[in-house]
Structures are given as C-alpha cells and as structure tokens.
Structure 1
Amino acid sequence: MCDSNARRTLWNDLMHCANRFKHEPWTVLGEFNVTRYGAEPSNGMTKAMQEFNNANTKPELEDLKGTGFHFTWNNMRMGTEAVLKKLDRALGNWQWFRSMGDSFAQFHPPGILDHSPVSIHLRHRQPYKGRPFKILNFWTDSEKFLHIVKQEWDKEYTCSPLIVIHKKLKSLKGSLRYLSTRPDSIAKELRLKLHSVQQVMVSGDMDQSVVVREMQLWQEVGRAARLEEAFFKQKSRIQWLKEGDSNLAYFHKMVKVRQSKNHIVRIRNEAGVWVESEGDIA
C-alpha cells in the first residue's frame, strides 16, 4: 500500500465491490496508508488524499463511529520527530448504516506495533427514546406558525418573569410538535394521490375536473418535496449542498450516518472501567 499504483488498484476494487453489492450491507477495514482529512494530520490536501476521498464518495462509503485511539499510526519516534496519523479506518456503505447503525469500530492500543488494530462491534439496535425538542425549519413556512407563536406568547402567567418565559416556551413547544405531519409523510401521501389520478387519466378519463385535480396535486407535490428536502437537510446537518438540487436521497442517507455516529457506545465509569451496556451508560 506504500505504492500509489497499489492504492489505485484497491480504490478500483472498492468501487467494483460497491457496484456489485450496493443492495447489501458491507464494510471494509484496515490500513489504507493515506489520511482523508487535513486534521488527521497531513500537509494539506494531497493528490493521494483526493483519490482516497473519491474512492469513498463514489461507492458511498463513510467512516463508522470510532472509539479508542484516534491516530492509528506512529513512526515510533520521540519528541519533535514523533509523527501521528490516522491511516487505519473502518468504512461502511449506506446499507450498513441503515441495518447496522448501532455498530462501531474500536481502535485498540498498538502494543509493540506501529499501527492500532481495529475491530468492529455489533450491538443490538437500541430502542427509540425520543429526541430533545428542536425547531424544524419547515414549520416556519406554515401559515399557522406565527399565529401559534402569538397565541402562546399572549398567555398570562402570574409568576416571576423568568418562570413566565419558561412556561411560555414549554407551552409553545407542545403546540409546535403538533403543527403538522412530517413533510416526508405528506409528500408520500400526495405522490400516491397524484399517481392514482394519473392512472385514471391513462385509462382514458380526460374529464376537465380530473385534469384540474392532476395539476393541483402536481403543484402540491412540488411544494411538499421542497419541504421534505429542507427537512432532511436540516436533520443531516449538511451545509455545503443547496436545497432544491434533488439531494433528498443524500440528505436521508446522511441522517442515518449521523444517527449512527451520535449514539454513545461506551463510557468510562467512576471506577475507571469501560462499560457498554445501555443500563450502565445511563
């Protein structure tokens, strides 16, 4: 892997596997002998790094959540001559994150080696316990949004100003949760309705009311699709892509990646022991 030609052969193999097994969950792990990002560290974005990132982007591979050693290689030197890099990784495709999102990679102490061994841990998917409240951007596009905010903010409370604000925010939170259905559900329902109307048109029924209904649904689907994309963009935290460029599938996939990386898989307790069970972590 020290030879650039050998690396390019591996990148081609990765893309071949990605095309062949794109509908199955799979992962690849080990030493790639090249970093992905400048902070891992490296002297800027090199050609080898660009080729490696392209080899991950095209097959839609992403790093698994990692624990243990961040820098996985060292040059076995001391002081100012010491060099640390992240050359070892565990990568999974979208199907892996979708079906095994609670898995994680552990990078172990290197011992007498210059590389940290890596292993993948599979965990039972944890039950959904809800998420902290967060304003969803698509709510602000609703005609009811400002009315709900004003209605909740006009309520009178007889207590200290700080408690008043707390009560108003808490009440507003409850009202906003039921402002509307998730836009992806609305978009799905509208697409089904549009499909049904168009099926009627295909059968030969070109009544004016059917044509008008088809046009109305077509416009509603367009609006719902824009809200759907904005919703998943916010959840994915992707900032470098613009809404409206048909990136919904990518945003949706990145939501799965974020969810996988955000969960806590192990924690060190007061006795200095690493624990992994949900009960011990809680």
Structure 2
Amino acid sequence: RRTLWDDLIYCANRFKHEPWAVLGEFNVTYGAEHSSSNRMIKAMKEFNNAINAELEDLKVTGFHFTWNNMRMGTEAVLKKLDRALGNWQWFRFTGDSFAQFHPPGISDHSPVSIHFRHRQPYKGRPFKFLNFWTDSEKFLHIVKQEWDKVYTGSPLIVIHKKLKSLKGPLRNLSTRPDSIAKELRNKLHSVQQVMEVGRVARLEEAFFNQKSRIQWLKEGD
C-alpha cells in the first residue's frame, strides 16, 4: 500500500495544475468512523497523510460502507474501503460532480461511478486547515494581523469575516510539509558546500605556509 501512497503523492505534485480523480478500492479506511470495528490503525494514518493536502472526497450518494465480509449477524464486518477522490483542480473544472456507490450484488465491494450535474460557478477550492501550519514562525503573526482588522456586523458575522480573511494568507504558507523539508535540505546543502570550501581553503593555506617554510629553510642552508 505504501507504494500506492507514494504514487498518489507523486501524482498530486506532478499534476497539481490539471484536474484528475482516482477511484476504486484503497484497502484501508479513512478513519475509525468508516469501519464497523471503530478502530484507528497505523494504515489509516498513513493513508490520511498521503491524501491530506491535495485530495478531497467527492460528494457521495448510495452505500456508505463499500465492503462487507459476506457474513451476517455479529460476524458481519462493514468498511468503507472504496473511495472517489479529486484534486482541487478537479473541483474547480468539473463543477458539481459526485460519486455513487451501487449495491454490491454478488461481490463483496460496491461498484462506484462518477456523475456530473449541471456545472455550478466555481466558488474556490475547499479550504482545509493543515495542522503543521501552526509550527511556522509566521503563523501567529498572520493570525494576529488578520484578527486585528476591523469589520462591521454582529459578533458572529465579524468572526466569520475574520476566519474567511485568514484563508488566503494561510494557503500561502505551504500545502505540504515535504516541500518545506526539501527547501531546508537545499539550504543545508548550500551551507555544507560553503563549509567544505572553507575547509579546503584552510588546508590549501596550511600547505603553502608549510611549503614556504621549507623553501626558506633550504635557502637558509
């Protein structure tokens, strides 16, 4: 499954400016609420991390649980292993699309199909708060800057406007922590190169100093 997660992350970065969707069985639930066993496991967390920043579930109709173990009573197990996910550009260009999960029939999985309704005006990509934003040194400054702005209206309207104004600046921080890590690695590499140049320069200086002393001793003899 980790190979699939890596492929999803690759596609999310490679085709982030193009609309695309992926649907089918992922063999893992998104969270405990999508399983009748109600347990959160490591595989769920890995799946969440893979799709968290770039992919969103399409609106869904039909069956909630998409897989069953074909048993009855207390032995029955139901899970949502099948999904239909789209990137932000998908929601922007396809409008009001949705996934329908059909009755499983003789299979233990529910078939899924994507449907397109009348295209609605684009209202912007769905906003998702990413927890790692709070680790940024700019986070509190951005929040304070937006929260100090003055708006008119009832207290609830004012709070709504302030929260809405935060979306743009927060999105500008970053959408993936791995992009920050890559930038830091590049900076570290640059620093290491400078340190290496300095080390070689010191060795070179020591070499010529030693060589000049040897030459001076020879001439002195």
TM-score, normalising length from structure 2?
A: 0.51
Kindly tell me: are residues 236 and 196 of structure 1, through their superposed partners in 2, closer, same or farther at Cα, counting changes over 3 Å?
A: same
> What SS is found at the alignment partner of 1:66?
strand
Q: 1:190 to 1:133 in 2, by over 3 A?
A: same
Q: What is the alpha-carbon distance in structure 1 between the residues aligned to residue 165 and residue 19 of structure 2?
A: 43
Indicate if the aligned counterparts of 2:100 and 2:115 stay in contact, CA closer than 8 A. Answer: yes
**What is the DSSP-based 3-state SS (H/G/I as helix, E as strand, rest coil) of the residue aligned with 2:214?**
coil
Higher relative contact order (CA 8 A, sep 6+): 2
Residues 166 and 90 of structure 1: is their aligned pair in 2 closer, same or farther, counting only changes over 3 Å?
Answer: closer
Query: How far is the alpha carbon of 1:122 from its aligned partner?
Result: 1.6
Query: Offset of 1:38 from its aligned partner?
Result: 3.7
Task: After superposing the two structures, state which structure 1 stretch, 223-232 or 154-163, moved more.
Answer: 223-232
How far off is 1:101 after superposition? 3.0
Q: Deviations over 1:158-206 (max 9, x none)?
A: 99999999999999999999999999999999999999999999xxxxx
Q: Which runs of 5+ in 2 are unaligned?
A: none
CA RMSD of aligned residues (A): 20.3
Distance 1:112 1:194, change over 3 A: closer
Deviation at 1:70, TM superposition (A): 0.4
* Secondary structure of residue in 2 paired with 1:239: helix
CA–CA distance in 1 between the matches of 2:184 and 2:18?
A: 30
Q: Which moved more, 1:178-187 or 1:60-69?
A: 178-187
Following TM superposition, the consecutive aligned residue runs of length 4 or more in structure 1 with deviations greater than 4 angstroms are 127-201, 220-242
Unaligned runs of 5+ in 1: 1-6, 202-219, 243-277
Q: Which residue of 1 aligns with 2:127?
A: 133
**Local SS of the residue matching 2:103:** coil
> Is residue 183–residue 227 contact of structure 1 (8 Å, CA) maintained in 2?
no
Greater Cα offset, 82-91 or 150-159: 150-159
- Count of aligned pairs: 215
CA contact (8 A) 2:32 2:40 kept: no
Structure 1 residues 231 and 123: alpha-carbon distance in aligned structure 2, compared to 1, 3 A threshold: farther
User: Aligned runs of 1:166-245 on 2, under 5 Å?
Assistant: none
For 1:279 and 1:165, the matched residues in 2 are separated by 85
1:279 equivalent in structure 2: 220
Q: Within the alignment, does 1:117 sit opposite 2:111 as a pair?
A: yes
Task: Render the CA deviation track for 1:85-128: whole Å, top value 9, x for unaligned.
Answer: 00000000011111223000000110000000001112221469
The answer on whether the counterparts of 1:138 and 1:227 sit within 8 Å (CA) in structure 2 is no
Write the distance in 2 (CA, Å) between the matches of 1:131 and 1:237: 71
SS at structure 2 position matched to 1:113: coil
Assess if the C-alpha contact under 8 Å between 1:67 and 1:106 holds in 2: yes
Any idea what the Cα deviations from partners look like across 1:18-58, whole Å, max 9, x if unmatched? Answer: 111100010000000100x4444x44321100100011xxx
Whole-angstrom distance in 2 between the partners of 1:168 and 1:34: 37
Q: Contact 1:27–1:96 (CA<8 Å) still a contact in 2?
A: yes
Inter-partner Cα distance in structure 2 for 1:197 and 1:140: 27
Over 3 Å counting, the alpha-carbon distance change for 1:140 and 1:101 in structure 2 is same
Larger gyration radius, structure 1 or structure 2: 2
CA distances 1:147-167 after superposition (whole Å, capped 9, x unpaired):
999999999999999999999
TM-score, normalised via structure 1 length: 0.41
Please say if residues 98 and 115 of structure 2, whose CA atoms lie closer than 8 Å, have aligned partners that are also in contact. yes
- Cα distance in 2 for partners of 1:87, 1:197 equals 46
